[in-house]
Amino acid sequence: MSELWLAARLDLAESLRARWFAVYTLVFGGIVALLFLFGLTESRVLGFIGLSRLLVTYIQLCMAILPIFVLITTVRSVAGDREAGVYEYVLSLPVSLSAWYWGKLVGRYVAVFAPVALAMVAAVVVALVRGIPVPWGMFGYYTALLAAMAWCFLAIGMLISAVARSTDVAQGAAFLVWLVLLLLLDLILLGVMIKGQVRPETAVAIALANPLQVFRTAALTLFDPQLVVLGPSAWVILDTFGAAGYRIYGVVYPLLLGLAAAAIGYRTFSRGDLP
């Protein structure tokens, strides 16, 4: 078996044994269970009913929880392992640094994405059993969106772990990154625009560069194709991308951003001191 798959399997097995994974799985599985339990599929909001209503709510909750969950658990375990001396021993074995780093990324990706995706699959299965119509297009796109989001924040977490020399610093940095992205969703952008300190185009560009905002807007495009709730900024988005184009951007941009973060993380990891 190649070194990369060995490293991936090892990390996946480590994740499956970890407490964070149990909590993580419980949270996402629990969300779907609760949404069914509270009759969300029977309620109607903005014309949504059945599984589409559940999926819209689920992805909104995922956007709130998944990034910080993935960031913190990644930096805690990766930087924590290095601090505890795990790297000193494991990297004394004949494994290439690229296989170790990318293998770890692959294993961890499966661990963070599988529970989120399986919860959605479970929702679809329950819907099929109960005879609730399944919006396959929405299901497919939201799955792709969550896959891209999980990858993006996992890669950012790996980058932070590679740069930070201690668990505390890594955790603090991860929280700060998440907080900045969160504040840039609305608060800071609205604030600086109201004060007239940035041009509207700059604010829109910042929003388009913020993966959290990209996910939110991409998710909105499925049930609000004209992006009415965004106000005038929707014109920039729709004129530049179009509704379908933005949906593609919503998946491709986080994937590329994640790839860039992971690549910089690898470069930092492989050129620095390992333990």
Question: Which residues form the interface with other proteins (CB under 8 A)?
Answer: 1, 3, 6, 10, 13-14, 17-18, 84-97, 271-275
Closest approach of Cβ 156 to other proteins, in Å?
24
Neighbouring CB atoms inside 10 A of 145's CB total 22
Q: How far is the CB of 6 from other proteins (least distance, A)?
A: 6
Per the CB < 8 A criterion, the answer to whether 214 and 250 are in contact is yes
Site of tokens 């690549």: 263
Shortest spacing between CB 52 and other proteins, in angstroms: 41
Whether 55 contacts 145, CB under 8 Å: no
Minimum gap (Å) between residue 98 Cβ and other proteins: 10
Task: Choose between 111 and 204: whose C-beta lies nearer to other proteins.
Answer: 111
Give whichever of 74 and 143 is closer to other proteins, judged by the CB atom.
74
The smaller minimum CB distance to other proteins, of residues 85 and 140, is found at 85
Give the residue with the Cβ less far from other proteins, 239 or 273: 273
Q: How many CB atoms lie within 10 A of CB 144?
A: 17
Between CA 166 and CA 152 the distance in angstroms is 22
Ramachandran assignment for 39, one of left (phi > 0), alpha (psi -120 to 50 degrees), beta (any other): left
Closer to other proteins by Cβ: residue 3 or 224: 3
Tell the burial category of 195 from Cβ atoms under 10 Å away from its Cβ (0-12, 13-18, 19+).
exposed
Report in angstroms how near the CB of residue 272 gets to other proteins at its nearest: 7
Residues 6+ apart with CB under 8 A from 198: 192, 206
Which CB sits closer to other proteins, 87 or 223?
87
Residue with tokens 């965004």: 230
Task: Please state, in angstroms and as integers, the Cα–Cα distance from residue 164 to each residue in 7, 52, 170, 185, following that order.
Answer: 22, 41, 5, 26
> How many other C-beta atoms are found inside a 10 Å radius of the C-beta of residue 34?
11
Give me the least distance between CB of 210 and other proteins, in Å please: 34
